[in-house]
């Protein structure tokens, strides 16, 4: 029984990954996302990231690879995942959970910065609120979304929308996209 489950799971993951490789539109979208992110960082801007659950983990991973090190020794890049538990619980307590990321954008975002949103449904109320605040504050909004892109899709200046029915498969493709974006940003800003 578990061998069949594992085989099915691995096959589903492989098919989801194959979509990203085979879908020409995804390649162009990733290039556009990388260009927007790199341009902001090159101008001295920063990238803020947010998401819930596994998407938060991907947002954190994206930010730490830029502020830390991915493949090359290079200067740190200004990227911040809005994941501080003190901030999240303070804002949730005082303003409600729907405002945890919007307050972060208000606090840390500046015109010319980019907000990178992660959402497998595209409908997370707190991520939608962050995107609305970002747009009103002069930030670009880009996204790694799932299903049909939900309410976030029209709020994004550019986004990769991964088709799928389950969050896990969408997140697996998002993680591949995260690594491709970081590699492209490093190549653009720090050519060999």
Q: What is the pLDDT of residues 100-148, one digit of tens each?
A: 999 999 999 999 999 999 999 999 999 999 999 999 999 999 999 999 9
Q: How many CB atoms lie within 10 A of CB 26?
A: 18
| Average per-residue pLDDT for the chain | 96
- Give CA–CA dist 58/48, Å, rounded: 12
* DSSP 8-state secondary structure symbol assigned to residue 126: H
Q: Is the pLDDT of residue 157 over 80?
A: yes
Q: Is the dihedral of CA 176, 180, 185, 186 positive or negative?
A: positive
Asked if 131 contacts 116 with a C-beta cutoff of 8 angstroms, the reply is: no
Q: What is the pLDDT of residue 118?
A: 98
Domains, the chain, ranges and CATH? 2-189 (3.40.50.10490)
The pLDDT tens digits for 36-57 are 999 999 999 999 999 999 999 9
Chain position carrying tokens 């490093």: 186
Q: How far is CA 133 from CA 34, 51, 76, 114, in A?
A: 22, 15, 26, 12
DSSP result, 35-79: HHHHHHHHTT--EEEE-STHHHHHHHHHHHHHHS-SSS------E
Average pLDDT over residues 67-96: 96
The whole-number pLDDT of residue 165 equals: 87
Label residue 187 by pLDDT band (50, 70, 90). Answer: very high
Tokens of 56: 């938060």
User: What's the mean pLDDT in 147-158?
Assistant: 98
3 state SS for 128-185: HHHHHHHHHCCCEEEEEEECCCHHHHHHCCEEEEECCCCHHHHHHHHHHHHHHHHHHH
Quick one: average pLDDT of 150-161? Answer: 98
Q: What's the pTM value of the predicted model, to 2 decimals?
A: 0.95
| Percentage, residues of the chain above pLDDT 90 | 89
Tell me what pLDDT residue 43 has.
97
């Amino acid at each position: 029984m578990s061998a069949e489950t594992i085989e099915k799971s691995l096959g589903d993951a492989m098919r989801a990954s194959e979509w990203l490789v085979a879908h020409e539109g995804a390649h162009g979208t990733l290039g556009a996302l990388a260009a927007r992110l790199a341009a902001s960082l090159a101008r001295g801007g920063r990238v803020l990231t947010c998401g819930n659950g596994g998407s938060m983990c991907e947002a954190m991973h994206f930010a730490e690879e830029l502020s830390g090190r991915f493949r090359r020794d290079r200067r740190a890049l200004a990227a911040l995942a809005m994941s501080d538990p003190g901030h999240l619980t303070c804002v949730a307590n005082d303003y409600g959970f729907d405002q945890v990321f919007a307050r972060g954008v208000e606090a840390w975002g500046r015109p010319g910065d980019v907000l990178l949103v992660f959402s497998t449904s595209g409908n997370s109320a707190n991520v939608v609120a962050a995107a609305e605040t970002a747009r009103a504050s002069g930030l670009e909004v880009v996204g790694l979304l799932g299903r049909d892109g939900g309410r976030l899709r029209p709020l994004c200046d550019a986004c990769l929308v991964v088709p799928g029915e389950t969050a896990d498969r969408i997140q697996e493709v998002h993680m591949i996209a995260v690594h491709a974006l970081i590699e492209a940003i490093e190549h653009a800003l720090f050519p060999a």
